[in-house]
Structure 1
Amino acid sequence: MNSLLQLTDTQIQSWVASFMLPLFRVAAMLMAMPIIGTTLVSTRIRLYLAVAITVCIAPGLPAMPPVHALDLSGLLLVAEEIIIGTMLGFSLQFLFQAFVVAGQIIATQMGMTFAAMVDPTNGTQSPVVGQFFTMLVTLLFLSMNGHHVVFEVLTESFTTLPVGATLLTSKLWDIVLRMGWVLGAGILLVLPAITALLVINVAFGVMTRAAPQLNIFSIGVPLTLVIGMVILWLSMGDILNQYEPLATQSLQWLRSLAGGG
C-alpha cells in the first residue's frame, strides 16, 4: 500500500505543469480580451472561468515541459504563457475599438461630443454614440458565436504555439502594425454618414456667406444633430454587412497569431 502512494518530484512537477501553465495562458487571455476582460466582470469571476476552462481543456492538451518552482526557467515559462494569453486577448480589442472609433467620429460630426458619460466597460468618459456602438458590436459578436471561435483558437494555440518553444518577437510586431487598422476600419464604418454630414456643414457655410444676418448656430446645430440621428438610424440597416468582414478579418488574424495559419 505504501508503494502505491509514493510520488516522485518528476510526477508532481508534470502534474503541476499540465494544469498551471495552461491556466496562466487562459487567465491572461480572459483578463485582456473584450467583454469578459472589462470592468463589468469582476476579477473573481474571470478567475473562476479561467479555472473552469483549463479543467475542461487540460486533458486534451499536449504534454507540458516540467516546471521547477524555484528555478528561473519555470518563471520564464510562466511569463511566456502570460505574454501569449495577453497577446491573443488584446488582438480582439482591435475589432471592438474600431466600432468605438467609428462612434466617436460620427459623434464629433453630429456635434454630440458634449453628450458624454462614463463608459462602464473601461471607467472613462466617452460619447454616448461610441457606447452605443460598443454595445452593438458586443451583441453582434456574441450572437454570431464569436466567443466560441475564440475559445477554439485558444485551445488550438497550445498545439500551434507549444509551451516553451515559441518565438514571440514577430507576433508582437504584428500587433503594433495592426493598430493602424483600427482607425481605417472605424472610418470605413461611418464613411457614408461622415460624407452626408460634411455636405450639410458645407451647405450651412454657404448659407452663412449668403445671408450673414442668419444665426447659423441657432439653426445649424440642432438641425445637424437631428439629421445626424436620421443618418445614423439609416446606416444601422447595413451594419451587419459591415460587421461581418471586419469580424472575419479579426478572427482570422487571431488564428494567425496563434500559429494556425
Structure 2
Amino acid sequence: MMPAGFAAVETQLWLWMVAMIRPGAAFIAAPVFSAPSVPVQLRLVIALAIGIPSLSAVNFVLPDGGLATIEGFMLVLGEVLAGLALGFAVQIGFAAALVAGETISNAMGLGFSSMIDPASGQSSPALGQFLSILGTFLFLAVGGHLALAAIIVESYRALPPGNAWMPAESINGLVLFGGTVFAAGLSIALPVGFAIILVQVVMGMLSRSAPALNLFAVGLPAALLAGLVLLAIAAPVIGEGILAAIQMGLEEARRLALGGT
C-alpha cells in the first residue's frame, strides 16, 4: 500500500503524463521536431513545458480508475489522435517543397541523383533535399515552431482532454487538404519546370531536324544548365511558394485545433 504522503505525487505524475501525450504526438508528425537529429529527451521536455500550462487552463480530472481503464484508454487514444492530426496538417504543407523538388529534378534529368533525407531517413532527390532544407529555414524564420506550440495550446480549449475526438468534418477536411500538397508542389515547381520542358521541346525539334545530333550528349547538359540558371532566377518565387504552403499547413492545423470551425 502506498503511503498517504505519496498519493498526491502519483496523481501529479499521471497528470504530467497526460499533459505530454498531445504535444508529444504532434511532435512525432510535425516537421523539424520529428527529425531523427532531434533528441527524444528534448521532445519530451518541450512537450511537458507546453502540456502542463495547457492542461492547467482547462478543468480536467483523471478517471476514477486511472489510465488503466477503458475510459483512460479512450482518453489517451483521443489525445494521441488529436496531436497526430495537428502535426500531420503542418507536415502536409511542409511536404510541398519535397514534391516541388522531385518535379523539378525529373524535368532536369536529375531523378537518378538521390540522397538520404535526414528528416525521414528515406532516399529522395537531391534537389528535393535542397528545397526541404530551404523550407526548414523558412519554417523557423517565420516562427512556425512557435505557431505550432500556440496551436497545440489553443486545441485544449475546443478539444479538452477526455473529449478530444475530432468531428468527422474535421477528419474529412484534413484528408481533402492532403490533396493540396500536390497542387502546391506543382505550383512551386511551375516556373522552373515549365521552362525546362520548353528546353526539352526545343532539343526534340533539333534532333528531328538534325538526326545525327546526339540528343543525350547535348540535351541533358542543356537541361541541367537551364535548370540551374532558372533555379537561381526563380529562387525568390520558389521561397514565397514554399512559405505559402507552410502557412496553409499551419492554418489547417489551427482549424483542427478549433474543432473544425
TM-score (norm 2): 0.90
Amino acid at match of 1:66: L
Distance 2:13 2:41 in 1: 22
d(CA) in 1 for partners of 2:204, 2:82: 52
- Of residues 25, 28, 43, the one that matches 1:28 is 25
Q: Say if 2:76 is the partner of 1:78.
A: yes
Q: Deviations over 1:144-179 (max 9, x none)?
A: 111111111101110111122244233222222111
Q: For structure 1, which segment, 43-52 or 127-136, has the greater mean C-alpha deviation from structure 2 after superposition?
A: 43-52
Runs of 4+ in 1 over 3 A off after TM superposition: 5-9, 11-18, 55-59
Q: Percent identity?
A: 31
Q: Distance in 2 between matches of 1:158 and 1:55?
A: 11
SS of 1:135's partner is helix
Amino acid in structure 2 at the alignment position of 1:77 = L
Residue of structure 1 equivalent to 2:248? 249
Q: Check if 1:46 corresponds to 2:43.
A: yes
The match for 1:64 is 60
Distance 1:54 1:162, change over 3 A: closer
| CA drift at 1:132 | 0.3
Is the CA contact 2:28–2:84 (under 8 Å) kept in the aligned structure 1?
yes
| Change over 3 Å in CA distance of 1:8–1:217 after alignment to 2 | closer
| 1:121, distance to aligned residue in structure 2 (A) | 1.2
Say whether residues 1:163 and 2:161 are aligned partners. Answer: yes
Gaps of 5+ in 1: none
Query: Aligned residues, how many?
Result: 255
Contact 2:111 2:125 in 1 (8 A): yes
The answer to whether the Cα contact below 8 Å between 2:94 and 2:242 also exists between their aligned partners in 1 is no
Q: Show the counterpart of 2:129.
A: 131
1:107 to 105, 108, 111: 105
Report the alpha carbon displacement of residue 100 of structure 1 after superposing the two structures with TM. 0.2
In the TM superposition, what whole-angstrom CA distance separates every residue of 1:50-84 from its partner, at most 9, and x where no partner exists? 2233345444x201132222321011101110111
Q: Secondary structure at the match of 1:190?
A: helix
Q: CA deviation at 1:240?
A: 3.7
Structure-2 change in CA distance of 1:51 and 1:103 (3 Å): same
Q: Specify the code of the residue in structure 1 equivalent to 2:222.
A: L
CA RMSD of aligned residues (A): 2.2
1:99–1:130 Cα contact (<8 Å) kept = yes
String of CA shifts for 1:105-144, please: whole Å, max 9, x gaps: 0000001112111111111111110000000000001011
What is the CA-CA distance between 1:13 and the residue it aligns to? 8.0
Separation in 2 of the partners of 1:156 and 1:114? 44
In the aligned structure 2, how far is the partner of 1:82 from the partner of 1:54? Answer: 13
Q: Give the secondary structure class of the aligned counterpart of 1:214.
A: coil
Q: Give, in whole Å, the separation in 1 of the partners of 2:54 and 2:165.
A: 23
Q: What letter is aligned with 2:240? A: N
CA shift in 2, pair 1:89/1:229, >3 Å? same
TM-superposed deviation, 1:98: 0.5
Q: Flag structure 2 segments of 5+ consecutive residues without an equivalent.
A: none
Normalising by structure 1, report the TM-score.
Answer: 0.90
Aligned amino acid, residue 178 of structure 2:
M
Q: Evaluate the alpha carbon distance shift between residue 244 and residue 116 of structure 1 in structure 2; reply closer, same or farther with a 3 A threshold.
A: closer
